[in-house]
Amino acid sequence: MARRRILVVKLSSLGDTLHALPAAAELARQKDAELDWAVQPAFAPLVERFACVSRVIPVPRPSETRAWLRALRELHRAPPYELVVDFQGLLKSALVARAARAPRRIGPSFAREGSAAFYTELAGRRDKSRHAVEECLDVVRHLGLEMPKRPSFPLRAPDVDPDSLAPALAPRTGPRIAVAPYSRWPTKNWPESSFAEAIRILAEETDARIYLVGGAARIAAAAGVPCANLCGALSLVGSAGLLARCAALLTNDSGPMHIAAALGVPCVVPFGPTDPGRTGPYGPGHVVLRAPDACPLAPCRKRACPRRDGACLAAISPRRAADAVLSVLPSA
C-alpha cells in the first residue's frame, strides 16, 4: 500500500522554515507519510537537511514570473497529495498550495492577502501572543494528532571540522563560541563595538576559540584577540555544521540564532525591536538580553529606529552579554 503524501508549504524565511519543522515532523511521523516541502531556492539546502522531508520542491519568488509559473505548472501536473499544509498564509503560498490539487488544504489562523479563499480549512485560532513554533503546531491539534510534549527539530547538520576552518585557533584550549553579528534588519543589530568588546572579554577570560559567522571583518579587527572570520567561507548548511560544534552562540535575532536553537546550541541574544516571546530562540538553555528601560517603544517591530539612536540595544553592555555566554557554557 502506498504511503500517504503530504505537502508542506513554507517558502521563507530561514527562521520561519525552522519554526514549522516540529509541526512538519509530527505530520510525517504520526501519519506515516512521505512529506514534501515547497520552499524558495535559497533555503532549499537547509530544508534538504530536515530528516522528515522526502523531497524538496524549489519555488522561486513570484517576481521571477516565468520560473514561478513553471514551478506551479509542474506541481499541478504531479500526482496529487492527500493533504497540503500552508504555514505561510500569504497569497503566493496559497497559490502554491492550490496548485498541488489536494482535496484538503489547511492554512494558518492568520491567513491574509485573500489566501483563505484557497484553503478548505484554517488551523487554530488567531493568537500572535505565542511563539511561532507553537502557532505552527496548531495544525497537529487541528488534525486530531497527539501534541508533542517537547517539539523536536530533526535537523541533520553536516560534519564540519572547526580546526580545519581556522587552524590558527587550534592552540587555544577554551570553548568554541560562534558569533553571528548581523541580521537583515539594521535595527536588530547590536552595535559592532559591543560585539568586539564581548569577544575580547570571552577570549581573554576563557581562552575561547571565537568563530565569526557573517561579514565581520571590522569586528574581528576591533576585538584585538585571535578569532576566525569565516565570512564567505561557509554555505548556509556549512554554517549549521559549525554551529553544531560550538558550545554557544552570541548573536542578534537572526537566521543563525534559529539554526543554533534547533540544534540545541545555547544562544545569547540581545533583543531590541522584536519580541523574543514570538521569534526568540526556542527551547530551554537560551538567554535573551533586553534593556526595557532604555526605550519605551521597544519592541517597536520597526526596520528603522523611530528614535534613530538604537537605544534598546545600545544599552545592553558587552560585560552583560559576555557573562550571559559564560553562564550557558557547559563548564559554568
Give the span between the Cα atoms of 137 and 124, in whole angstroms.
9
Q: What angle do CA 95, 100, 106 make, to 5 degrees?
A: 70
Confidence of residue 232 (pLDDT cuts 50, 70, 90): confident
* pLDDT at res. 1: 56
Asked which of 109, 142, 175 is the last residue of a domain, the reply is: 142
Residues 178 and 215 in one domain: yes
* pLDDT at res. 116: 98
* pLDDT at res. 3: 80
**Domains in the chain: how many in total?**
2
Confidence of residue 170 (pLDDT cuts 50, 70, 90): confident
* pLDDT at res. 22: 98
Backbone φ and ψ of 97, nearest 5°: -60, -40
Three-class secondary structure of residue 30 per DSSP: helix
Asked which of 142, 175, 202 is the last residue of a domain, the reply is: 142
Q: What is the CA radius of gyration of the chain?
A: 21
Is 153 a member of any domain?
no
Determine what percent of the chain is predicted with pLDDT higher than 90: 90
Q: In this predicted model, what pLDDT tens digit does every residue of 186-226 receive, in sequence order?
A: 999 999 999 999 999 999 999 999 999 977 789 989 999 99
pLDDT at 240 over 80: yes
Confidence of residue 75 (pLDDT cuts 50, 70, 90): very high
Asked which of 111, 142, 173 is the last residue of a domain, the reply is: 142
Work out the number of other CB atoms within 10 angstroms of the CB of residue 123. 23
Work out the number of other CB atoms within 10 angstroms of the CB of residue 41. 15
Residues 182 and 132 in one domain: no
Residues 72 and 181 in one domain: no
* pLDDT at res. 300: 93
* pLDDT at res. 331: 67
The CA distances from residue 251 to 122, 186, 198, 266, 287, in Å, are 35, 13, 11, 11, 11
* pLDDT at res. 172: 93
Q: In this predicted model, what pLDDT tens digit does every residue of 249-289 receive, in sequence order?
A: 999 999 999 999 999 999 999 999 999 999 999 999 999 99
Q: Which three cell numbers stand for residue 312?
A: 534598546
Q: Write the CATH number for 137.
A: 3.40.50.2000
Residues 104 and 186 in one domain: no
Is 147 a member of any domain?
no
* pLDDT at res. 104: 98
Residues 285 and 229 in one domain: yes
Residues 174 and 225 in one domain: yes
Question: 255-262 and 14-30 helices cross at what angle (nearest 10)?
Answer: 30
Confidence of residue 45 (pLDDT cuts 50, 70, 90): very high
Give the span between the Cα atoms of 49 and 164, in whole angstroms.
23
Sorted by sequence, the CB contacts under 8 Å of residue 320 that are 6+ apart come out as 289
What residue numbers bound the domain in which 74 lies? 4-142
Q: Which parts of the chain are beta strand (E)?
A: 4-9, 33-39, 55-58, 83-86, 105-108, 121-123, 176-180, 209-212, 228-229, 248-251, 267-270, 287-289
